[in-house]
Amino acid sequence: MIRKVLIVFILVVNFQILFSQIDSNSNLIKLRQRLVHIKHEEGKETVDSFRFLHLMIGGNVYQTEKHLKYAYDETAKKYDFRNEFKYIQPILNLGDISIVNLKTSFGNNVKNMFSSPDEFALALKYAGINVLMHANIHTANISKAMLKRTRDLVNVYDMYHTGAFTDNMQRNGNYPLIINQKGFRIAIINYTRITNRPSISRDFVVNEIDKSVMERDMRMAQIQKPDFIIAYFDWGANNQDAPNYMQMDIVQYAFQLGANFVVGTNPNTPMRIDYVNYSRNGIMKQGIVAYSLGNLVASNDEVQNRRGYVIDLELKKNNYTSETDINDWGAIPVYTYYDTTSTHGSTKIFSVPCANVESGDIFPKIPYIEKRRAVNCAYEVRKLLGATADEIQYNLTELAVNNVQETIDLTSASLNNKFSQKRASEIEPTDAPVLPITAIGSNNPPSLAVLYDEQPNVDPQSEKTMSKSKTSGQETLLTTAQKVEPTDLNRAPNHYPQSDDSASRNKSVACENKVDGIGNNNIGKDISTKGSSSTERSVNKTSSQTNISTKKEEGKRPEQKERERETAIEINHKTEVEAAKSNKSETGSELQKVIGVNSQVVFDTIYRIQFYALKKFIPLDTNYYTHLKGYEVMEEAGLFKYLLGSFKTKQECDLYWKTQIQPRYKQSFVIKYTGNKRLPE
């Protein structure tokens, strides 16, 4: 009897140890498996007292110059971005609302590194993505015209968007974003952190993180009586792995103002999810924040930047009391897979759910190293989220993925919005991608933003110009050649495509036009033109005359050499200014760059409005004076001068001054600056 009791006791202890080990292994993250398609039981009585809304919230979506090359079909002469979302769109289409952070724009200019073809917007729509966030540093690097075209295009594709606006009037009428879906009213606010905002975007509005602005916006949102408020932030440093104090403070403030769910992006790597305790109206509550969702479509092939996760959120609303709560939620680890083996000589990009790659249900023949990377991505995300979030897994297979793709192709619409059709044949084909070629001894080609000006016209008969470019710490001799077609890229390793109006060509010419006796300083020649060959010939002629004169300086007295040198510089400077004035682009840009004789700093000529000059600095409440949003204070001659705007043309500045500022401030006037130096009119 005692022996039997001991045996039973030992078995019980062993089972407890076994179950405790299993439990400790499963504590990494709890798993929940869901079906892509749920078939409701027929004949079962249901009580219609609640309604549900499904949300999918993703991270960054990039389109780089390499991505455009991978997506371009040389045979069909068109772009095909379906692969990027093929394995994630069955999941994104389950969301009634699917949100991502758009890290590109649609400016119809493939030479601009911040612009993508219109075909990519269609791929976003087909993937089920119907809400785009614009408040990020990439939006701050485009022009107002490009932003306007981007907004118009996504409106045509029936997608919501917020975070950037062409002016304050447009913002006031469309922000915060309110979405009415299935009896729910969802409000979304979107902000970014920009340390150094480029001058190209200072004439339109990009929402930046500011507590006073957030408070005003949240009040406007609450006036609409939303059921749920989402705060979406683009913040943090690249590869940041933990939230900083500023981010935690902003999260606490957002919850106190009325946010129900907070998400963040930008670091390009996933960060943890936290439960945040906060007080609102004297009542203690708890909110959920995901500090960084990582990348849904990565911008490069660095393994740590390919990781991310999607928030799978289900809301529940009482039809009688209108009380709305989070019914269920979790995270879906995703990985950006660069496929170089399926098709010989080409690369394809796929955003894939890690769990289905791990189980072998999709990509059963994926290379071992890539499968390990996807599994490691899932493991790292599970470590980050295991204490707070469950992992959601869907039963995706190759058959299910192909069926969804076929359905989208047949209906020309996403699954979560079948009534909004948009056919690929209706899109005007975008130009073929033209990538810069890596110079010999370098692994990183220069960006298109450096090689090209934003003007769409390219002169195919560009001259050959020699320039010195420092790449990877070495001086490599590059040749500016005629435009190279994409099929010729592999056989021209030391050439990159170039146009006459590109900034890099102007810089290379300026580097060659050195005058003896000035040291390393260059005579300015960095004028952006738009195909005006006559002006270029005049400037080149002046530069060549200057070079010839400097060669004849030997044997002359120092005073004579100095006088001739100053005369040559003055003639060259006047020629450049006249050339700049005569070459206004069709977009109205007069922003010409002139390099000073005694300095290598490039200055822009801009027009501004001065409406105050005070002895003391007095901050202005731009929440009240909305027309003074974005003013700057510059100290000159012991006075604090209040300036507004940064206009490229005087006509544009005069128009804004006469219509917006002069009626309120009679003594305001227009001034011109080059750098920080005020110029007389």
pTM of the model: 0.64
Q: Which region among 256-270, 335-349, 595-609, 621-635 has the lowest average model confidence (pLDDT)? A: 595-609
Pick left, alpha or beta for residue 248 (phi over 0 → left; psi -120 to 50 → alpha; otherwise beta).
Answer: alpha
Percent of the chain whose predicted confidence (pLDDT) is above 90: 48
Tell me: the pLDDT tens digits for 87-101? Answer: 999 999 999 999 999
Report if residue 69 sits inside a domain: yes
Report if residue 47 sits inside a domain: no
506: Cα within 13 Å, side-chain hemisphere: 23
Confidence of residue 456 (pLDDT cuts 50, 70, 90): very low
489 and 378 share a domain? no
For residue 628, is pLDDT > 80? no
Strands (E), 194-306: 205-206, 228-234, 261-265, 273-280, 283-290, 295-297
Confidence of residue 677 (pLDDT cuts 50, 70, 90): confident
Rg of the chain over all Cα atoms, to the nearest angstrom: 30
264 and 340 share a domain? yes
Locate 375 and state its tokens: 């599994």
289 and 192 share a domain? yes
502 and 579 share a domain? yes
Tell me: the pLDDT tens digits for 337-385? Answer: 999 988 888 899 999 999 999 999 999 999 999 999 999 999 999 999 9
Highest mean pLDDT among 156-170, 501-515, 517-531, 575-589: 156-170
Single-letter amino acid, residue 596: G
Confidence of residue 46 (pLDDT cuts 50, 70, 90): low
577 and 618 share a domain? no
For residue 309, is pLDDT > 70? yes
Run of H or E residues at 586: none
Domain's final residue, options 364, 396, 414: 414
Report if residue 194 sits inside a domain: yes
Question: Which has the closest alpha carbon to 676: 635, 629, 645?
Answer: 635
Strands (E), 557-629: 593-595, 602-614
The CATH number of whichever domain residue 401 belongs to comes to 3.60.21.10
Strands (E), 154-214: 160-162, 164-165, 177-181, 184-192, 205-206
48: Cα within 13 Å, side-chain hemisphere: 0
Tell me: the pLDDT tens digits for 228-248? Answer: 999 999 999 989 999 999 999
d(CA 110, CA 503): 16
488 and 606 share a domain? no
For residue 167, is pLDDT > 70? yes
Domain's final residue, options 540, 573, 595: 595
Domain hosting residue 565, numbered range: 448-595
108 and 215 share a domain? yes
Q: How many structural domains comprise the chain?
A: 3
318 and 378 share a domain? yes
Domain's final residue, options 388, 414, 440: 414
d(CA 351, CA 307): 10
Q: Span 254-275, mean pLDDT?
A: 95
Q: What is the pLDDT of residue 19?
A: 44
Q: What is the pLDDT of residue 557?
A: 52
The CATH number of whichever domain residue 657 belongs to comes to 3.30.70.1070
Report if residue 45 sits inside a domain: no
Distances (CA, A) of 681 to 495, 515, 596, 607: 44, 31, 20, 11
Report if residue 561 sits inside a domain: yes
d(CA 210, CA 426): 41
Tell me: the pLDDT tens digits for 475-492? Answer: 333 333 333 333 332 333
2 vs 12: which has the higher pLDDT = 2
5 vs 218: which has the higher pLDDT = 218
476 and 360 share a domain? no
Report if residue 101 sits inside a domain: yes
Report if residue 27 sits inside a domain: no
615 and 571 share a domain? no
Report if residue 373 sits inside a domain: yes
583 and 664 share a domain? no
Tell me: the pLDDT tens digits for 184-197? Answer: 999 999 999 998 88
Q: Span 651-670, mean pLDDT?
A: 85
312 and 204 share a domain? yes
Q: Would you report the helix, strand and coil content of the chain in percent, each value rounded to 5?
A: 35, 25, 40
Locate 211 and state its tokens: 């507590």
d(CA 344, CA 348): 11
Q: What is the pLDDT of residue 612?
A: 82
Tokens 């059921």, located at residue: 227
